[in-house]
Amino acid sequence: MVKGLPTEWGMCFHTILLDNIPWALSLWNNTIAVGSQHRDIIILDVVIGSQKVVLSGHIGGVRSLAFSSDGASLVSGSYDKTVKLWEVQTGGIVKAFHGHASRVCSVSISANHTTIASGSEDNTIHLWDIQTGECHQIIEQQNKVYCISFSPSNPQVLVSVSGNTVQQWDIDGHKVGPIYNGNQTAFSPDGSQLILCSMNGATVQDIDSGVVVAKFHMANSYFSVCCFSPCGRLVAIAAGYSICVWDITSSDPHLVETFTGHTNNITSLAFSSPSALISASEDRSLKFWQINAPSTNPVVTNPTSTPLTLTPTKTTALKAENGTIIPSNLDGVMNTWGISAGPCKESSQIPVEDSHQSNIQPIDRKLIFVCVRASLALSS
């Protein structure tokens, strides 16, 4: 189901090919969930792209995914008109929620893990009680609901996109705050800002004051999906086949990076770190991008766990600390590589005799990095 294809597209340091078009991404720490036109949900390890588990239970394509804030649960919305709550570790279904009359396009789970919101093509927002599985509120809309999201800081507030209207609601179904124009939206990590995407442009606005923090324009492009970085400093917006990343912290927000390499429309985006981004596309690929990456060629990991040779060094020792791998060579040079980022971060000189030590280290209790002679093997 998952194939690896090392690439060197611009700042892309890793590509995973899927058998189906990926429609949705949701990320928690080093775990990413991928929903596609196929009914299964693939759980991947972000570090090396390996498949960890497959969640099966939907009978239609999975259009939206959302991890709980602790990463233990995953919510999915499907074209089979259902919403499902999954236990990530076991892959089992905790609850199935029935009630929508048409395809479910978007889901979100409140920060306090009590409520699930779902938006559907039946022109409604449903609010579900996780404990009982019952729908306690239905919010009628004039158009199909393609985007729904709880505030990360306030479990009582959510935002929806129906038609070209962005509205905020409380969990009792009452409108709160101003109404915006847009066809896609996302909260900042602290819940204080919204990014609003529309035809040929996007804006970042302060939720309380309504003040526009940043405004972006791109001629002849349709901004389709958007997200904030974990630190809230960057925003990424997909327009067709390309991704633009802006820094919004200065008084003059500016373009940081433009990524190209997909061969069809981008369907979803997620930051895997403050400086790394994952994109899903109708070209049936996931691409991993490094923002402000060095110009040197990256190390590309292969999700099939085939050995990766670190030439020209003859590596015989390895450490793993804080998301980095540190191989040493017979010349006494130690290179530090970011596992999730790819490019070499730094080099330093070490005593030659230390380079002959063999070392095996577990990472996150899931992965083991084994260093033997000139090869680095990834195992799970």
pLDDT band at 250 (very low <50, low <70, confident <90, very high): confident
| 3-class SS of residue 182 | coil
DSSP string, 232-262: SSEEEEEETTEEEEEE-SSSS-EEEEEE---
Q: Which of 347, 343, 329, 337 is nearest to 369 (CA)?
A: 337
Q: What is the pLDDT of residues 178-225, one digit of tens each?
A: 888 888 999 999 999 999 988 768 899 999 888 999 998 766 566 678
- pLDDT at residue 232 greater than cutoff 50: yes
- Ranked by mean pLDDT, which of 199-213, 299-313, 323-337, 344-358 comes out on top? 199-213
Strand-pair partners of 92: 87
Q: To the nearest whole number, what is the mean pLDDT of the chain?
A: 78
The CATH number of the structural domain formed by 308-379 is 2.40.10
Provide mean pLDDT across the span 77-83.
98
Q: What is the pLDDT of residues 114-161, one digit of tens each?
A: 999 999 999 999 999 999 999 999 999 999 999 999 999 999 999 999
pLDDT band at 62 (very low <50, low <70, confident <90, very high): very high
Question: Higher confidence at residue 240 or residue 279?
Answer: 279
Question: Higher confidence at residue 307 or residue 130?
Answer: 130
| 3-class SS of residue 353 | helix
Measured in degrees and rounded to the nearest 5, phi and psi for residue 356 equal -95, 0
Helix (H) or strand (E) holding 305: none
Please, what CATH class does the domain formed by 2-290 belong to?
A: mainly beta
| 3-class SS of residue 356 | helix
Q: According to the model, what pLDDT value does residue 201 have?
A: 80
Q: Where are the domains of the chain?
A: 2-290, 308-379
For the entire predicted model, the pTM comes to 0.75
Q: What is the pLDDT of residues 83-122, one digit of tens each?
A: 999 999 999 999 999 999 999 999 999 999 999 999 999 9
Domain pair 2-290 / 308-379, same fold? no
Tell me the CB-side half-sphere exposure of residue 149, using CA atoms within 13 A: 21
C-beta separation of 61 from 39 below 8 A:
yes
C-beta separation of 96 from 83 below 8 A:
yes
65-69, 125-129, 351-355: segment of lowest average pLDDT: 351-355
Q: According to the model, what pLDDT value does residue 266 have?
A: 94
Tell me the CB-side half-sphere exposure of residue 266, using CA atoms within 13 A: 29
Q: What is the pLDDT of residues 163-177, one digit of tens each?
A: 889 999 999 999 998
C-beta separation of 338 from 345 below 8 A:
yes
pLDDT band at 332 (very low <50, low <70, confident <90, very high): very low
Q: Cα separation of 107 and 66, whole Å?
A: 7
12-26, 87-101, 240-254, 331-345: segment of lowest average pLDDT: 331-345
Q: Which of 374, 378, 371, 369 is nearest to 313 (CA)?
A: 374
